[in-house]
Structure 1
Amino acid sequence: MKKIVSSLIACLLIFLSIQPIHAYTNINIELYSQYAYLYDRDTSLVYMEKKSNEKIYPASMTKILTVSLALDYITDLQEVVTIKQADFKGVVEEGATVAGLFPGEKVTYEDLLYGALLPSGADACQALARLIFGDVDHMVTAMNEKVIELGLQQTHFMNVTGLHDEKHYTTAHEMALILNHALQNKEFVKVFEARSYKSSKGNHQWISSLQNAKDNKDMDVSLINGGKSGFTDEAGLTYASTMTIDQHRLILVTAKAEDRRKRNHIRDAATVSQYMDQSFHNVVLYKKDEEIDTFWVLKSFQGSYQMKAQQDISLLVEKTINKSDLDIQVNIQKWKEAPIYKGDGLAIISVNYQGEPIYKYIETMPETIQSSTAAIVLHYGIIIGFPGLCIFIIGLKIYQRKKKKV
């Protein structure tokens, strides 16, 4: 049984780290977008799926990975670099959006990052590719290697800008995972959530599509943290955005909306954020440092060990649901042998609602408990010695009975 529980925890640790979990509900909201995917970065619970595993063309959402990958290699954001004519190859011919850079211009890497995301500058993206990887083709190769590293099977890139190519595709689900990866970099978050930016020389002023929608369409985008929009005729309007709803960090990816003038892709994000804010709330299962369960440590003088929540463990659920409505179960191995290492899985916390499983959480070891030689000797001494003592006592009693008969 011990091995079964340990194996189950190990498998779940791998599964939950890469695979979002389907929630108990799929919210049904009327959207302009034909494709949509909404999930919680903190719990991996999925709240909306609309053809989320079908192929889409990402358009300029591509630039999320372009900027994220560039940040993996940039060591000094303030380093000054020079824009070259090569950075404009194919840009004018394809009608790509640009940041307004010009050959010979001196800019910082930071300028290029903001220029790639806020005005969606293809010139800034191709400059990053040349400066960091030598040329666009080498950066595209690195992007596809990152796709493989992330375990994505329905994504492939042909360029760094998102210009249409039949072999340049993803899904709403996998684009959300790419954004989740990018958001692990604090510098990326700063750029992604920026509403405006003035370049280092002061000659460029860029605003985000989110701010543009707020200013020109009087749209309530107050619940949206940041976003990256895209458009091609084949992709339609695409949008990857983040929002925080009652302490939970959500990612929404939508694709194939129509009407650029009305900015319906951003309207969809605003609609979803407002619905989630009005209809869902945070339910805390265990507060940080609250005791969850205890287990005994063998081969160590530790004795019993109190397993406590290392952070608040919570769920974003509909406001009609409270903690008392949830069935919370802890599956833990009550006896563990030292050594136990920091990060080892300790228990599976399962949450059911109305008899249906909706969430699983792995609580891990916050510290390392080493085995003790003296404790091991004592442990095996008891295992070997106790049966021997029993045999000795039984033998002694038999001997005494025989002696009485004589």
Structure 2
Amino acid sequence: MRKWKVVFIALALTILWPTIGLADEKSVNLAPEAISAILIDSDTGTILYEKNGNQKLPPASITKIMTMLLVVEAIDNGKISLSDKVRASEYAASMGGSQIFLEPGEEMSVEDLLKGVAVASGNDASIALAEYIAGTEEAFVQQMNEKAKQLGMNNTHFSNSNGLPAENHYTTAYDISIMSRELLKYEDLITKYTGIYQDYLRKDTNRPFWLVNTNRLVRFYPGVDGLKTGYTSEAKFCLAATAKRDSLRVIAVVMGEPNSKVRNKEVAQMLDFAFSQYKNVSLYTKGQVVQSVAVDKGKEEKVNVIVPRNFSILLKKGEKEEAYQQEIQIEENIPAPIDKGRIVGKIVVKKDGREISSIDLVAEKQINKASTWELITRTAKRMFLQ
């Protein structure tokens, strides 16, 4: 039977979760001209404002958030690297609409293609990356839909990787907020590109290409560093934007806006509302060590238990403080082998005995099982030191 160590830590905090957002939603109309909209806290997923959040609509190039998510996941797990050279196919180069004007057979790095997607919304760059990762765009789209299902995006189906009009291609503002939040788990990587206002591709060639971010809020709204615009005649003007001030990061999504000016204005209103009404308190940062625990029969005798992502608590400004408890539950004397990232415990925040929020705790690295000789040697050393 597994043994668990439980530690209680008092928190002098007032914690507010999705119910606070639902109350405020009734008293404000932050996006009157959008068909649908949503505003969430990125760390906790708390909904701060919502309008027709589950209405299925064409997302246009906001689709590329999922494309970028699969790209950064492939980078993170070592399947591809930013320096890899990608050869553009005839099909990728044939894409119309927003593009970086890839030539058939042209080679470009994953990093430059990712920049072309994030900044210029390149349809051709999206296809080139999709084919590089999955072999064909069709296979990549299957991965997109599988990821959507894993994330609980229950009202989403993708038919391509770039958002050009296609049958059976739809999502919702709420589902967009889910995949945006997932992409921001790779904040340090992705915002290096989505936060660029202008840059160049092919800088050292005779055909340099000027990139200007389709998300103008990156330049004109303090703290905005992503994520993605979208427009087709069917979808109208769409935007998923994220901004960070101090430790509070929020995500605002609008769909079906009449023009880009109104789109930007209403997203700015949503961001203003979030930053004026809320703040958060960071409990743990990504990768922070919570404890070191014993490993049974491992090559190493201890493993660090870490928090896999930022963990914070959302507060309404001006609320009175109340006492909360933080409960740390960690498995003791974990048997080897242990995979990196294996769940070995969790942190639970409670109020009046009721769970408010939680986060899994994971092993910092892989610990292999020790050989019989290693175990004998270790035991002998302990006996000698006694």
1:360 counterpart = 2:365:
no
Q: CA deviation at 1:228?
A: 0.4
Q: 1:25 is paired with a residue of what secondary structure?
A: helix
1:25 counterpart = 2:26:
no
Residue 265 of structure 1 is aligned with which of 263, 266, 269?
Answer: 263
CA distance in 2, matches of 1:192, 1:128: 16
Task: Verify the 8 A CA contact 2:60 2:235 in the aligned structure 1.
Answer: yes
Q: 2:20 is paired with a residue of what secondary structure?
A: coil
What are the residue-to-residue correspondences of 1:200-215 with 2, within 5 Å?
200-202=202-204, 203-211=208-216
CA distance in 1, matches of 2:268, 2:349: 33
Q: CA deviation at 1:348?
A: 3.6
Task: Verify the 8 A CA contact 2:224 2:244 in the aligned structure 1.
Answer: yes
The structure carrying a bigger strand percent of its residues is 2
Task: Verify the 8 A CA contact 2:121 2:214 in the aligned structure 1.
Answer: no
Residue 193 of structure 1 is aligned with which of 192, 195, 217?
Answer: 195
Compare 357-366 and 167-176 and name the one that shifted more.
357-366
Q: CA deviation at 1:167?
A: 0.7
CA distance in 2, matches of 1:59, 1:271: 22
Aligned counterpart, 2:238: 238
Q: CA deviation at 1:365?
A: 9.0
The structure carrying a bigger helix percent of its residues is 1
> In the alignment, residue 83 of structure 1 is paired with which amino acid?
A
CA distance in 2, matches of 1:175, 1:188: 16
1:222-248 C-alpha deviation (Å, 9 max, x unpaired) = 132212000112222111121124412
Aligned counterpart, 2:141: 140
Q: 1:140 is paired with a residue of what secondary structure?
A: helix
Residue 85 of structure 1 is aligned with which of 90, 105, 108?
Answer: 90
Q: CA deviation at 1:160?
A: 0.9
Distance 1:340 1:170, change over 3 A: same
Identical-residue share of aligned pairs (%): 28
CA distance in 1, matches of 2:124, 2:359: 44
Q: CA deviation at 1:257?
A: 0.9
CA distance in 2, matches of 1:78, 1:332: 41
Q: CA deviation at 1:121?
A: 1.0
Aligned counterpart, 1:291: none
Residue 281 of structure 1 is aligned with which of 279, 282, 286?
Answer: 279
Task: Verify the 8 A CA contact 1:98 1:124 in the aligned structure 2.
Answer: yes
What are the residue-to-residue correspondences of 1:297-312 with 2, within 5 Å?
none
Q: CA deviation at 1:68?
A: 2.3
CA distance in 1, matches of 2:62, 2:283: 35
Question: Which runs of no fewer than 5 residues in structure 1 stay unpaired?
Answer: 1-5, 7-19, 288-308, 368-406
> In the alignment, residue 360 of structure 1 is paired with which amino acid?
S
Task: Verify the 8 A CA contact 2:86 2:129 in the aligned structure 1.
Answer: no
> In the alignment, residue 314 of structure 2 is paired with which amino acid?
L
Aligned counterpart, 1:328: 324
1:272-311 C-alpha deviation (Å, 9 max, x unpaired) = 2222222323357899xxxxxxxxxxxxxxxxxxxxx989
How does the TM-score come out when normalised to structure 1?
0.66
Distance 1:48 1:337, change over 3 A: closer
Task: Verify the 8 A CA contact 2:86 2:128 in the aligned structure 1.
Answer: no
Task: Verify the 8 A CA contact 1:331 1:349 in the aligned structure 2.
Answer: yes
Aligned counterpart, 1:376: none
Q: 2:249 is paired with a residue of what secondary structure?
A: strand
Task: Verify the 8 A CA contact 2:65 2:227 in the aligned structure 1.
Answer: no
How does the TM-score come out when normalised to structure 2?
0.69
Aligned counterpart, 1:173: 174
Q: 1:191 is paired with a residue of what secondary structure?
A: helix
Aligned counterpart, 2:224: 224
CA distance in 1, matches of 2:189, 2:67: 14
Q: CA deviation at 1:147?
A: 1.8
Q: CA RMSD in A?
A: 3.7
Task: Verify the 8 A CA contact 2:250 2:274 in the aligned structure 1.
Answer: no
CA distance in 2, matches of 1:313, 1:174: 21
Question: Which runs of no fewer than 5 residues in structure 2 stay unpaired?
Answer: 5-15, 286-305, 336-341, 365-386
1:38-62 C-alpha deviation (Å, 9 max, x unpaired) = 2222223221121112212111011
What are the residue-to-residue correspondences of 1:97-108 with 2, within 5 Å?
97-108=98-109
